[in-house]
């Protein structure tokens, strides 16, 4: 009888839980519907297109979880699609209702040099159409200033300044901790420069990794300075970045005045003064608040000017980490992307395929699955053109090998042609607390890989041979694609990462250009008039319910006068602390994925520091401790 009562209690608890979940969904939907009811709106017939970028610019924004929206656990920082922003700016330059474009960069988290250069080009086109571009921030970082340099007028708060840090920084190395814990890391790799595993095997960079990373950082830094200098030639950029302390001292320690004296900004003023200046061009806001101006909402404008999706040049986006299985946008899941492409090939009369790659790589198996689907398109007679974004390295280059032509930008991070695998074992950790292992075997591989007793020489040898075989296949694919010998590719592979300019010189990419150039080239190869070529974006249909809930929540945020939507600090120390925290959390997530993810990987850890920082999730705050506990538990 006690057992029956226990079972009954469990069933009642399950029933109560389901009822509560249903009520939560019901009242959440009811709240959303009521919130969506018509309310008096402030209609702006014309004004300034306001780009208040509270988050990062990415190639492909991630899906938003409807439950996270309803429960208020959604990540605060937003993701803005690069193509959506560019399309909005292209429309704004010819739209008579748009009197100016305004960049509010106080909450901007970054986006990678390639993406920011493309937005800068779109801002230049707005200015060429005789429409002013205004930029404001309390503190400009490298990324936000790369955009602000393209403005007609750049403003900075008198209490702020321009903090240009440059490329480079520190990474985390866990060898000392691993040794103290007694963990044994079994590494199988090919490539002199394949430094992804170095945080587990060294206390610092190897000379080869340091040499390659220094060369990459230097090339990107030079390109950044050239882009800014071209956009703002009057700025004394070289003097400012070489000795910022001296310039600040000459301005009495006032960083904002130092930036003004160096010509990096045009005006000093708070947000209210900035708004009043914009209002002189765009008109006053309907609510007549001091410092407000007539503004056009970016989200609504992007939706209204989203390009049609009915062309015959397929555009497949591979963005984010390449992983096995299925996933939503923002993650390059092998099963999902290959299924989307095969479905499009079966249902659409496509003339050519453009593959947009913005990925540091990941699972070898998923990369091969995506490559096979692209090869199916090629087997159907479709020309294949690859367009590389911020990063197209390791697995990101693997999926690029079917291309007839590869486009990249000078700032693109590519290469990293190498393979590795890593398995931790905890026999040393267990020995520290008096635990040992023993057992029986029937073959040399029985029980392998044994994460509590250690791996055997036979297993290690087989794993290393497997990694070497995959590396040979990788090199062979690249050699065939680039029309070179495997020996020639091996000499420039070895896991080394290259900037786009060098990659073009050594033959890993063919031409400089963006997505538009790749679409035009694909049209030419398919004997389609490039002027009439239109893209068909091969992507997952968005979740309508999630879109609806998100639009309601965004409206509530807009109505809340105190909600800025940004967690970015507004002073130098606060801002840099948040930026570094986001990168550290990303590093923790990368480590967790490395230990728990695919066994054999074509991945590039150092590449992640040059793209858009991913949105930090609440769970990541405990990621480091969770990882350490995981190491201890095995």
**Residues 424, 392, 472: CA angle, nearest 5 degrees:** 60
Provide the 10 A C-beta neighbour count for residue 340. 17
Nearest Cα neighbor of 319 from 352, 366, 279, 359 is: 359
Q: Which residues contact 314 (CB under 8 A, 6 or more apart)?
A: 341, 344, 348, 350, 352, 353, 354, 377, 382, 535, 536, 538
Are 252 and 245 a contacting pair, CB within 8 Å? no
Say if CB 400 and CB 500 are below 8 A apart: no
What number of CA atoms fall less than 13 Å from residue 126's CA on the CB side? 31
- Cis peptide preceding 449, ω within 30 of 0: yes
Residues 335 and 319: their CA atoms lie apart, in Å, by 14
Q: Beta strands of 7-152 (E only): which ranges? A: 47-52, 55-58, 78-81, 98-104, 108-110, 133-140
Q: How many CB atoms lie within 10 A of CB 571?
A: 16
Of 194, 257, 351, 369, the catalytic one is 194
Q: Can 394 be counted among the known catalytic residues?
A: yes
Residues 6+ apart with CB under 8 A from 79: 55, 56, 57, 58, 61, 62, 330, 615
Helix axis angle for 113-128 and 82-92, nearest 10°, is: 10
- CA–CA distance, 576 with 562 (Å, rounded to integer): 23
DSSP H or E segment with residue 496: none
Only one residue has tokens 């040099």, namely 113
Measured at the CA of 108, the angle between CA 104 and CA 111, to 5 degrees, comes to: 125
Question: Is 194 labeled as catalytic in the residue annotation?
Answer: yes
Among candidate residues 387, 394, 400, 566, the one labeled active-site is 394
d(CA 246, CA 250): 6
Decide: 594 and 93 in contact? Cβ < 8 Å: no
Closest by CA position to 80, among listed 105, 106, 102, 53: 53
Cα separation, 489 vs 474, whole angstroms: 10
- Distance CA(228)–CA(362), nearest Å, equals 33
Residue 506 has φ and ψ, to the nearest 5°, of -95, 5
Q: What are phi and psi of 631, to 5 degrees?
A: -65, -40
User: Token pair of 95, please?
Assistant: 């739209």
| Pair of tokens at residue 444 | 């040399």
Locus of tokens 């240009």: 164
93 close to 125: Cβ distance less than 8 angstroms? yes
Q: Which residues contact residue 329 at a Cβ distance below 8 angstroms, ignoring those fewer than 6 apart? A: 60, 61, 62, 63, 319, 539, 540
Q: How many CB atoms lie within 10 A of CB 280?
A: 10
- Tokens for 47, please give them: 């004004």
Catalytic residue positions, numbered:
194, 394
């Amino acid at each position: 009888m006690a057992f029956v009562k226990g079972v009954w209690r469990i069933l009642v608890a399950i029933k109560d839980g389901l009822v509560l979940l249903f009520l939560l969904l019901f009242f959440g939907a009811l709240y959303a519907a009521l919130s969506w009811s018509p309310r008096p709106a402030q209609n702006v017939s014309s004004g300034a297109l306001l780009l208040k970028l509270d988050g990062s610019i990415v190639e492909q924004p991630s899906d938003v979880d409807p439950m996270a929206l309803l429960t208020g656990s959604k990540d605060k920082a937003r993701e803005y699609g690069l193509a959506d922003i560019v399309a909005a700016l292209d429309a704004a330059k010819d739209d008579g209702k748009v009197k100016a474009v305004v960049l509010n960069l106080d909450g901007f988290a970054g986006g990678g040099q390639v993406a920011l250069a493309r937005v800068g080009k779109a801002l230049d086109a707005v200015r060429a159409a005789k429409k002013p571009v205004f930029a404001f921030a309390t503190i400009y970082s490298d990324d936000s200033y790369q955009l602000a340099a393209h403005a007609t007028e750049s403003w900075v708060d008198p209490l702020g300044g321009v903090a240009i840090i440059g490329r480079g920084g520190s990474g985390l190395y866990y060898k000392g901790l691993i040794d103290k814990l007694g963990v044994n890391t079994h590494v199988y790799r090919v490539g002199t420069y394949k430094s992804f595993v170095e945080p587990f095997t060294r206390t610092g960079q190897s000379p080869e990794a340091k040499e390659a990373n220094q060369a990459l950082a230097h090339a990107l830094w030079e390109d950044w300075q050239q882009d800014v200098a071209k956009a703002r030639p009057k700025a004394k950029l070289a003097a400012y970045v070489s000795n910022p302390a001296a310039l600040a001292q000459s301005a009495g320690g006032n960083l904002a005045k130092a930036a003004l004296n160096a010509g990096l900004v045009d005006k000093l003023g708070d947000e209210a003064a900035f708004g009043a200046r914009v209002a002189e061009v765009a008109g006053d806001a309907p609510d007549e608040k001091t410092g407000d101006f007539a503004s056009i909402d970016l989200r609504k404008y992007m939706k209204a000017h989203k390009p049609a999706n009915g062309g015959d040049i397929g555009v497949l986006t591979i963005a984010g980490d390449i992983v096995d299985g299925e996933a939503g946008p923002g993650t390059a899941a092998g099963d999902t992307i290959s299924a989307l492409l095969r479905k499009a090939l079966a249902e659409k009369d496509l003339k050519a395929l453009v593959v947009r790659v913005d990925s540091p790589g990941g699972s070898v198996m998923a990369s091969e699955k995506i490559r096979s689907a692209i090869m199916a398109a090629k087997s159907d007679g479709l020309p294949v053109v690859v367009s590389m974004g911020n990063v197209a390295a390791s697995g990101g280059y693997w999926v690029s090998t079917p291309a007839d032509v590869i486009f990249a930008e000078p700032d693109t991070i590519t290469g990293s042609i190498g393979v590795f695998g890593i398995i931790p074992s905890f026999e040393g950790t267990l020995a520290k607390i008096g635990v040992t292992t023993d057992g029986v075997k029937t073959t040399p591989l029985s029980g392998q890989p044994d994460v509590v007793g250690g791996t055997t020489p036979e297993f290690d040898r087989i794993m290393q041979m497997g990694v070497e075989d995959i590396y040979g296949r990788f090199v062979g694919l690249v050699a065939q694609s680039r029309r070179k010998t495997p020996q020639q590719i091996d000499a420039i592979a070895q896991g080394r990462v290259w900037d786009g300019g060098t990659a073009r010189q050594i033959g890993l990419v063919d031409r400089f250009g963006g997505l538009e150039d790749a679409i035009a080239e694909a049209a030419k190869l398919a004997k389609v008039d490039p002027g009439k070529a239109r893209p068909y974006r091969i992507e997952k249909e968005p979740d309508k319910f999630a879109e609806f809930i998100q639009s309601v929540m965004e409206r509530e945020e807009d109505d809340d006068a105190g909600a800025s939507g940004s967690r970015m600090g507004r002073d130098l120390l606060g801002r840099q602390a948040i930026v570094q925290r986001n990168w550290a959390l990303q590093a923790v997530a990368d480590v967790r994925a490395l230990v728990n993810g695919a066994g054999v990987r074509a991945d590039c850890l150092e590449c992640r520091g040059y793209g858009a920082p991913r949105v930090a999730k609440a769970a990541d705050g405990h990621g480091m401790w969770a990882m350490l506990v995981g190491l201890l538990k095995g």
